[in-house]
Amino acid sequence: MTDRSTDNVPHRVAVLSVHTSPLAQPGTGDAGGMNVYVLQTALQMARRGVEVEIFTRATSSSDQPLVRVAPGVLVRNVVAGPFEGLDKYDLPTQLCAFTAGVLRAEANHEPGYYDIVHSHYWLSGQVGWLARDRWAVPLVHTAHTLAAVKNAALADGDAPEPPLRSVGEQQVVDEADRLVVNTEDEARQLVSLHNADPRRIDVVYPGVDLETFAPGDRLTARAALGLRADEQVVAFVGRIQPLKAPDVLLRAAARLSGVRVLVAGGPSGSGLAAPDALVGLAAELGIADRVTFLPPQSREQLVNVYRAADLVAVPSYSESFGLVAIEAQACGTPVVAAAVGGLPVAVADGVSGALVSSHDPDRWADAIAGLLRRDSDELSRAAVAHAQRFSWAHTVDGLLASYSRAITDYASARRRRAAGDVLARRNGRRWSMRRGVRA
């Protein structure tokens, strides 16, 4: 059997990300901030000598079973259901197949191969719960979003999360040894909505790659994107779906003469039902000539989008944190964001940008206009300074501390159970002897 770490620092972590691969392009399908989080934290852990194996569902026949992303980071593409045609709402039917693939992978090693399981999103938590029991290691879970929170702030035309998800989330919250959340607000939600034990919750802020996302020349970035040097540009980056509310930005821009909107992303979720709806809305509002649409961008290309913009808008109805906001600020671009979820942490209101407490287009137009009138150099410096508070190194500090607590508590609980079993057996033998004497 593989020796467990004596200092409660894991040597090998099994990460579960069922519904979206860390290798997928953010801004497409279900790929977004969670993909970035899983990959960047894995890379950072590997640099510290902690091996990470990420289990995700294969979505193409061309997916290799094993992909070595970097030394110490391995992605396992598990075949579970058809490669195409399934969205995340269909995936509960494939959890059994996915779990079997995960358990078979571990069965090829000696017992004790993984020190801990970290599941992301409720679907992964269902798998992690079973793996935890089979492997006798602790389970750490990160929800990223909660059904009840999303359903309480639905956009027009968006579909509510099904009851199945709420039930599944409750089960995972009850079973996980520790729960990692992005913000204090999310911690309060877990307690109020799912009766989570606050003592099992760790708040760990997500981070940003401060080497990749850094200030640069705006005119060069605009030239690369074919934008004019003298126009005011407000960018939206992310999945195009009602939840992310890009329509709010377009409606606000229609009230602001001369402002160009730059949209980088692809349709996702309920937005797939009308993939060209945003293009149609721009035409309906009479601003089609002021809206530039770009497909989802790679990390390197995304830097140009952030640098080219005067502002980045994050008008989401629900957002557990908002990595786009931090990435933009790291590039020196202030952010106007909805005052929801983790965005009040990601954006320093009045300093590195502005928070808007509604989705009314007039309020958004006022907020955008107000920021565009301010000293751009001062805002840019404040945005960079705020983003410096967040790094993936700091995030991994928090994750490893959570893992250490989980391993310590799990080992203590096993010792208590073992001691209780010994005591029960002793008491059972004494009772049997007494019965024998009486007989």
Q: Which domains does the chain have, with CATH numbers?
A: 12-207+393-411 (3.40.50.2000), 218-388 (3.40.50.2000)
Give the closest residue to 92 by CA, choosing from 81, 79, 83: 81
Q: What is the pLDDT along the chain (439 residues), one digit of tens a residue?
A: 444 445 688 999 999 999 888 888 766 566 678 999 999 999 999 999 999 999 999 988 889 999 999 999 999 999 998 887 777 788 999 999 999 999 999 999 998 999 999 999 999 999 999 999 999 999 999 999 999 999 998 888 788 999 999 999 999 999 999 999 999 999 999 999 999 999 999 999 999 999 999 999 999 999 999 999 999 999 999 989 899 999 999 999 999 999 999 999 987 554 444 448 899 999 999 999 999 999 989 888 999 999 999 999 999 999 989 999 999 999 999 999 999 999 999 999 999 999 999 999 999 999 999 999 999 999 999 999 999 999 999 999 999 999 999 999 999 888 887 767 666 666 666 666 666 554 4
Contact 273, 262 (CB under 8 A): no
Angle between helices 246-253 and 277-284 (to 10 degrees): 20
**Rounded Cα gap, residues 246 and 266, in angstroms:** 11
Residues annotated within the binding site for 1D-myo-inositol 3-phosphate are: 19, 30-35, 88, 121, 145, 165
Distance, in Å, from the CA atom of 293 to the CA atom of 295, rounded to the nearest integer, reads 7
pLDDT given at position 263: 96
Please answer whether residues 365 and 372 qualify as being in contact, where contact means their C-beta atoms are separated by less than 8 angstroms: no
Per-residue pLDDT at 426: 67
Closest Cα partner for 147 from 167, 118, 172? Answer: 167
Cα–Cα dist 428/27, whole Å: 61
Beta pairing partners, 236? 263
Beta strand 66-70 with 73-78 is antiparallel
Residue ranges for the known binding site for UDP-N-acetyl-alpha-D-glucosamine are 25-26, 33, 239, 244, 297, 319, 327
C-alpha distances (whole Å) from 392 to each of 11, 14, 66, 246 are 19, 19, 25, 28
Tokens of 4: 């467990």
Please list the alpha-helical segments (H only) found in 108-217: 121-135, 147-151, 163-175, 184-194
Residues forming the annotated binding site? 19, 25-26, 30-35, 88, 121, 145, 165, 239, 244, 297, 306-307, 309, 319, 327, 333
**Cα distance between residue 77 and residue 69, in whole Å:** 12
- Picking from 131, 133, 138, the residue whose alpha carbon sits closest to that of residue 179 is 138
Handedness of CA 279, 238, 178, 3 (dihedral sign): positive
Q: Which residues are annotated as a binding site for Mg(2+)?
A: 306-307, 309, 333
Count the Cβ atoms, other than its own, within 10 Å of residue 111.
11
pLDDT for residue 439: 40
φ, ψ for residue 391, nearest 5 deg: -150, 155
Phi-psi region of 51 (alpha: psi -120 to 50; beta: other; left: phi over 0): beta
User: Which candidate, 378, 386, 18, 334, places its Cα nearest to that of 172?
Assistant: 18
Evaluate whether 340 touches 318 at the Cβ level (below 8 Å).
yes
- The per-residue pLDDT for 61 is 87
Structure tokens at 20: 């979206």
Q: pTM here?
A: 0.89
User: Is 210 exposed, middle or buried, given 0-12, 13-18 or 19+ CB atoms closer than 10 A?
Assistant: middle
Which helix (H) or strand (E) is 307 found in, with range?
A: helix 299-308
What is the tens place of the pLDDT at every residue in 56-90? 999 888 899 999 999 999 999 999 988 877 777 88
pLDDT of residue 90: 87
Q: How many residues does the chain have?
A: 439
The pLDDT value recorded for residue 267 is 74
**Sequence letter at residue 285:** L
Q: Report pLDDT for 158.
A: 81
| CA gap 33, 30 in Å, rounded | 10
Provide the pairing of β-strand 291-294 with 311-314: unpaired
